[in-house]
Chain A
Amino acid sequence: SSTGADEGEITIGLAMPNQQSPFYVAIRKWVEDEAKRENVKVLVADAKNDADDQVSQVQDFITRGVDGLIYIPAGAAAATVPVRAAKSAEIPVVTVDRNPKDAPGDTFIATDSVAAAQELGEWVVKNAGDKGNLAIIQGQLGTTPEEARDQGFKKGIEGSEIKEVARQASKAWLQDEGYQITTDLLQAHPNIDIIFGRADGLALGAAQAARNAGSKDMLVVGFDGDPSGLEAVKSGLLAATVTQQTTLMGKLAVQSTLKLIKKEQVPAEQLQKGILTTGENVDQYIANHP
């Protein structure tokens, strides 16, 4: 399928859902790094959260003659069309983060969010002394990560004395939203002492709001292990987060694509562990993002 203008050089298309989420930004960075090392060209397209745009962009990749596609679906769940389109052009597809149910990629790379969120929940139970009033700042409702993290965390705090007193959803996982929502939740429920922000951005906003409201012993945890999230764990603003191994995932995505291009075997699912990160182990991850 190498009808590309630049015959000979291998070109990979990276279809990004957006470029705001630090998680995606990190993946892109590591994909680009790894590609450079492998002497492979990467084309990046940003769908700005619009699945329809993403279909167009994948079409354009195919026209452009990419040899492989790394597809991080935009939209709440994953659209099948980009995978189908790529497959009918005989281009291998690596899906990252979310996998279209009816048309899975040749391999799927993601964090095992449920397990990681459960571990985080268990850690919270231990560190809060088995009790407390929990507020949850949800991500965008209806999305896979939101649902997986909810499921895992619930399991983690099951059986403890931790009561969920409030939950409110953000629209776009943003720090500003986390700040705004938390300021308000703290008014409505002054007894809150644990906050789980479903992403580091949300958690950071929440921590900032708690700090502004003058509550000192708020236990705030996040998810993702963004650079800023890790810094916050180090400074104590966040108590813990789950670090997704973006470096690894980015590298793996490139390696898997190359293997698929060479028609080598790759497992259908390559789930990575989310690493529980606290003040104790944060330094090593700041130095070297996993």
Chain B
Amino acid sequence: MNEPAPSPILTVRGISKSYPGTVALRGIDLEVRPGEVIALLGENGAGKSTLSGIIAGAIQPSTGTMTWQGRPYSPATPRDSITRGIGMIHQEMRLLPDLTVAENVAVGRWPTRAGFLSGKTMLRQAQEQLRKVGFTGRVNQPVRELSVAGQQQVEIAKALMLDASLLILDEPTAALGETETTALLECVRSLRTQGVSFIYVSHRLAEIAQIADRVVVLRDGEKVAEHDSGGISPDTLVREMVGRSVDRLFPEFDAPRDEVVLSVEGISDRAGRFDDISLTVRAGEVLGIAGIVGAGRTELVRSIASLEPLRCGEIKVDGVPLPPNDPIAAKAVGVVLIPEDRKRQGVILSDTIEDNIALPNLAAITRYGFVTPSGVTRFARKAAARFGIKGDIGDPVATLSGGNQQKVVLSKWLSSDPKVIILDEPTRGIDVGARASIYEVISELAQQGKAIIVVSSDLEEVLGLAHRIMVLAQGRNKGIMEAAEATADRVMAYATQ
């Protein structure tokens, strides 16, 4: 900190935040200068979102002060921060499902002429921002029809509409693939040259190295390190975040066994989102599915789990065909899907951790026809321990940090004894330490002879986990390659051909 830096646009002094039973932040100090990208790192539950939310006026701090452009700043609502030029993308996507993409981008800042909304201007402005982030969908379609990645892009475009001097991006790339991430980073760089500052939260250390001017590391609500450059070795950052070093992210996998557990034969989707897909997964094998956003991976795996009707084709488990479009039958023979959309499909946010974990496992908990609360607690406690879920199992899932919510989703599904496990973006928003432990679990499951499918937009993850990788592009199988012959470049070449 020796350079004569311009005076900070934002200063944060001694910010603390406590929730019943938890202290989320303890005495955080932070300065943000114009045109600077500050990376905010920390494991799940470290307090990154809480700090971001406080700066954006969405959360009220317990103690501490802030100044903005030299003047005292204590936003009571997000409106206060927005009017001062601070915008934020929230980690959990916050869109209006029934409104169109354009309207979501414009929400709260509708362009008006003589007091009346101008639909054309709105469309034009929205399109402009959406183009910057590489959105390729229709701007007139309701947001509820978008994939998670598409929604994330809309969310980013919405923040760009603000014309803010400080943008807080809370895990903007968690749901994005390589292409979209690149577009986003490009966008950040170009805004930075225009003097816009960023607070950038991410678990992807590679991105941090690319764009961060400074790195701030939080652990258990405290600031434990601050670096004046983005080029810190990942090992150092991980050690600071997790408090120990994670020497090996991906565990070793044994060679798969011979017997084929899952075989998919020429299935096609009714709406044409994927077409004529065949694949097999053997016991103990991990099949990775890669592809760019909107390639149809999610639709494909949902159909394999019998959650969507098929136009044609057949799915067999241990050689026995699954009845079509019957998720309960699929579950009964041991096919489970861990969905990508945590909020809508993964957990009931208002319910407790234990109730969420118990839900797909009720049959296992039932004794003499009754499900006792103590049985539920016992079961859930064991599952929570296995996955390292932070927090009391009697707490509502809504009070957990994003990463911990994801762990609840995993533990809920993997506590039964499935045959086929399909994980759709299993580590979205998960910190490095926890990610390693989830990979560990996947490897254990493989060892037990489960057939596993991993869908991920994180190429490193697919490459590190899978025995074989299938690349999907525009709903078509572009080829299945052995892990040994797969490289990032090859996969991307297939995915975008």
The short answer to whether A and B are in direct contact, CB under 8 Å, is: no
